[in-house]
Amino acid sequence: MPGESGKKLFVGPRFRRIRQQLGLSQTQIAEGLGISPSYINLIERNQRPVTAQILLRLAETYDLDLRDLATADEDRFFAELNEIFSDPLFRQIDLPKQELRDLAELCPGVTHALQRLY
């Protein structure tokens, strides 16, 4: 399809979680991927997209399944947060959907804790 190959993939928080699960610093993962630590920092802050080449290198170097970068968890967390904040208890709080999406992506632990409380 035209234009599909030009789609940019911003997966910074998920990339950071994977790096942390591997127990690596930004410098260490940068060395393993053959890129600069500053570029890793930009990726993790969603200031730069992740290229297909970097994703393939990540999967090969660290024996990862690229599905770990999929958005399924974030979508589920967003749905849970949306349900929680739809409760009449929170009627007075004007919380934009994008903030819920950001929370689901950036802070899955907080989302899980809120879901447990709810």
Residue 12 belongs to what domain range? 4-68
> Is 64 in the same domain as 8?
yes
The answer to whether residues 109 and 76 belong to one domain is yes
My answer on whether 63 and 19 are in the same domain is: yes
Q: Which residue has the higher pLDDT, 56 or 2?
A: 56
Residues pairing with 9 in the sheet: 50
Place 75 in a pLDDT band, splitting at 50, 70 and 90: confident
- The three-class DSSP label of residue 18 is helix
Do 46 and 85 lie in one domain? The reply is no
Q: Is residue 38 domain-shared with residue 86, that is, in the same domain? A: no
DSSP secondary structure string, 19-70? HHHTT--HHHHHHHHTS-HHHHHHHHTTSSPBPHHHHHHHHHHHT--GGGG-
Same domain membership, residue 80 and residue 28: no
Number of domains in the chain: 2
Same domain, 59 and 95: no
What CATH number did the domain enclosing 23 receive? Answer: 1.10.260.40
Which of these ranges, 23-27, 52-56, 68-72, 78-82, has the smallest mean pLDDT? Answer: 68-72
pLDDT tens string 82-92: 888 888 988 88
Q: How many CA atoms lie within 13 A of 42 on its CB side?
A: 11
82 and 112 co-located in one domain:
yes
Give the closest residue to 18 by CA, choosing from 52, 63, 49, 53: 63
Same domain membership, residue 77 and residue 63: no
Return the H-helix or E-strand segment holding 89: none
Q: Which residue has the higher pLDDT, 58 or 9?
A: 58
Task: Please indicate, yes or no, whether residues 82 and 106 belong to a single structural domain of this protein.
Answer: yes
Structure confidence at residue 7 (pLDDT): 66
